[in-house]
Structure 1
Amino acid sequence: MSEEANSDSSTSESEISACSSSFNPLKAIYSAKTKIPVQNAPMYENLSQYESAQKGSNTIIPVGQRELVMKREREKEMKKQETQKLLEEKNKQRFAKFQVTAPVRKEKVSHNVLTRIQAMDGPLATLKECVDNRLRIKVCKSSNILTKICFFET
């Protein structure tokens, strides 16, 4: 019985050893006795990360290399800003001909009683004085087809 346990442990050690011909990766993953042959080997989250690293795409950085991640993020940000500046410059050049200032129309001066009253003489000048002095007045207007008469009462 002890020989079976010994042979079982020896087979399990040969199955756990990465250099062995009878290596079993599933047992190696779940075994506590697994020895890593290279101590500085990069760690990957899954097989797709490992495969992409083997192909040389270098888009996925192994776990534990924070400096490389930060460097890559800075490079991405710089590239993004550079492309944004180039795009803005192209847009400025593209729409430069449309940004020529159009002739500005002068605002039409509204001609109402309050703007005309400034230059008038007569009863409207009296009305303006009353407005400037804030006097309350009563305007009585009696109109006829031929004449228009206006009376101020204070």
Structure 2
Amino acid sequence: MTVATRGGRLDLVRGGAAQEFTVTLRNGNTQAYGHLGLAFQMEILIDGTPANERPPSDGFVLERWDAGAGVWRTAELRIANDALPHQLHQGGAPLARDAVRTERYRLRAGSAGPVGSTPLMVALTDTDAAGSASAGEARPASFSLPHTTRRN
């Protein structure tokens, strides 16, 4: 799995434009996967914003490009300081042997919410193996994309 964006990091401005990135999955010739799921998470930004003034998801919106429909669709972004156990991941799409798939995503920071730096963590999970496999087998790849959000 590779995660790439222009400049190698996400630099967002509250209330500004979204920044796009891609996630590319490359399967070898050993096995096909029935359900590979991507999970996105950022830790809580600590900047003095009172908890009651924080918008849902700290004001971040993650979207995935739906090429078939030609539209951006909201994707799940978890904001938490702990890891979601791999056994709780569900869904995902197949990836055949020797296949390569690239998906487009974008992240934006709404006008309200905290500022600071924390990586966008991307975890690839084999959800078919998640219930019975070790974490290493169920989560074949992970990546942390550097990220900073500031006010204009």
TM-score normalised by structure 1 residue count: 0.13
Q: Which structure shows the higher strand fraction? A: 2
Higher relative contact order (CA 8 A, sep 6+): 2
TM-score normalised by structure 2 residue count: 0.13
Q: Which structure shows the higher helix fraction? A: 1
Q: Highest CA radius of gyration, 1 or 2?
A: 1
